[in-house]
Chain A
Amino acid sequence: MSELLIDIFGKPHGIIIFQLVAAARFTIYLSLVAFSGGGVVASMITFLAVSPQPGLRKIAQTYIWFFQSIPLLMLLFLTGLGVPRLIGVDVNPWTAATISLVLFTSAYLAEVWRGAIAAVLPGQWEAGFALNISFVSTLKKVILPQAIRYGLAPTVGFMVQIIKGTSLAYIIGFSDLMLTGKRWANAPVLGSEPFIIFPIMAVIYFCICYPLAVLARKLEAEDLAKS
């Protein structure tokens, strides 16, 4: 693979592109972990957010509000540098980046999903309750299948935000596309000037994000067509 790239682009660009693409793997891994971990946490928060118990709803609202008002960069500093320093342990960049992105993602997704559930007509809940169907079953069999319509497009769209968000993790030493690219851009190697490296990185980010952006737009259009 690296030979092939060197054959095509020559040195050092073949090597740079190879290293950047290899580093992009970690961007994708981190995005997937953030998305699945964030999705699991978001499901639980969403469940609390739509619960009939006001106390549980309050907890969920507070969670969403709290993590939505902290910039992702701040979360990364806190989990990667602040808290470890405070309690005197080493936290590796993977762990810190994962925790930050899961918190960030879960708050955002929970808000999207809560909104999607709220968009289903209240009469649907009432019909379920009047038929003596339990809260959980009504949610599962009546409300969620309808809420997916409203939530799917923004969820896919948000994946793009997560992928771009992972690029901030370089700041705590997470070795991804961003960090590798920055190292090259700073290296005193002829042909690795920032004006060459950054466009290459942009193209790689674009290749990862574009299909998702297209998918989100397609889902949105389908949704409009249906309603």
Chain B
Amino acid sequence: MHKTDENLVVNMKKVNKWFGEFHALKDVNLSIYEGERIVVCGPSGSGKSTLIRCLNGLEKHQNGTIEVHGTVLNDNTEAVKKIRKNVGMVFQQFNLFPHLTVMENCILAPVENLHLSEAEASKLAMSFLERVQIPDQANKLPGQLSGGQQQRVAIARALCMQPRLMLFDEPTSSLDPEMIKEVLDTMVALANDGMSMICVTHELNFARRVAHRVIFMDEGKIVEDQSPKDFFENPQTDRARLFLSQILNH
């Protein structure tokens, strides 16, 4: 992997974010390169979600700079749109549109943004539904699917915009144990295709298998940034050691 400025996907410099008085991100610096897969972990409230939600402008940071695919994220709507065009996001609660079928969920954004006809968008969507292995559910409503299927639809829906970076915010945390695997398998397949990914997750096996780097956050700071092997075998900080012992003993 070449780490040059041209293939920087994310470049955060001294980013700070407050919710009112609460300091949620503290001087965060982070560079991610094309094709890199990052797993973000850390205790609850440490700012993991806030970090990735700042990357596509769902949250606004107050100072520091965030660059995504070379575009500086600021209040300018055009910049935000340009960044979102190339960044897909998958949420813990799926956030599928409950009144639309699986297919309609998938084609809404491509029809609006890529100016595809419904037929073209449907064809594109079908190819991604095949990739997440639920093409036969295309005409169902989200409520008729299992949690695992819904999350795979959410992944397909994000992929329909053909993003260059995918953000995952605890994609398996609200799933029953028997459905976690099917979603993780989908994500592994995506990783094998070379997609740049930032995943907030506590699935350590997933981290071991696919991550290039594990980022550990605590109290709004990035405390560790290492290869999975180093992070799991030889964490540098007490906080990371404590965190690992807690989730391993679960």
Spell out A's residues near B (CB within 8 Å). 121, 123-124, 126-127, 129-134, 137, 141-142, 145-146
**In the bound complex, CA of A68 to CA of B29 (Å):** 50
Minimum Cβ distance to chain A for residue B238 (Å): 35
Does B121 reach chain A (CB closer than 8 Å)?
no
Check if B91 sits within 8 Å of A131, measured CB to CB.
no
Check if A132 sits within 8 Å of B84, measured CB to CB.
yes
Check if A131 sits within 8 Å of B157, measured CB to CB.
yes
Check if B56 sits within 8 Å of A130, measured CB to CB.
yes
Residues of B within 8 A of A127 (CB): 89, 91, 95-97
Residue picked from A121, A123, A126, A131, most chain B C-beta under 10 Å:
A131
Residues of A within 8 A of B84 (CB): 129-132
Q: A124-B95, A129-B84, A146-B99 are in contact. Are A134 and B112 (CB under 8 A)?
A: yes
Residues of B within 8 A of A145 (CB): 99
Residues of A within 8 A of B93 (CB): 121, 123
Does B47 reach chain A (CB closer than 8 Å)?
no
Check if A131 sits within 8 Å of B161, measured CB to CB.
yes
Minimum Cβ distance to chain A for residue B92 (Å): 9
Does B14 reach chain A (CB closer than 8 Å)?
no
Spell out B's residues near A (CB within 8 Å). 56-58, 81, 84-85, 87-89, 91, 93, 95-99, 108-109, 112-113, 157-158, 161
Minimum Cβ distance to chain A for residue B240 (Å): 30
Q: Which 4 A-B pairs have the closest CB atoms?
A: A127-B95, A131-B109, A130-B89, A132-B84
Residues of A within 8 A of B88 (CB): 130-131
Q: A124-B97, A127-B97 are in contact. Are A141 and B108 (CB under 8 A)?
A: yes
Minimum Cβ distance to chain A for residue B78 (Å): 12
Residues of A within 8 A of B91 (CB): 123, 126-127, 130
Residues of B within 8 A of A133 (CB): 108-109, 112-113
Minimum Cβ distance to chain B for residue A216 (Å): 22
Q: Which residue of A lies closest to B89 (CB)?
A: A130
**What are 25 A-B residue pairs whose CB atoms fall within 8 Å in the complex?**
A121-B93, A121-B95, A123-B91, A123-B93, A123-B95, A124-B95, A124-B97, A127-B89, A127-B91, A127-B95, A127-B96, A129-B57, A129-B84, A130-B84, A130-B91, A130-B158, A131-B113, A131-B158, A131-B161, A132-B84, A132-B109, A132-B113, A133-B113, A134-B112, A137-B112
Residue picked from A123, A127, A134, most chain B C-beta under 10 Å:
A127
Residues of B within 8 A of A129 (CB): 56-58, 84
**In the bound complex, CA of A134 to CA of B109 (Å):** 9
Residues of B within 8 A of A123 (CB): 91, 93, 95
Minimum Cβ distance to chain A for residue B44 (Å): 18
**In the bound complex, CA of A29 to CA of B85 (Å):** 50
The answer, among B57, B98, B99, B108, for a CB contact under 8 Å with A131, is: B108
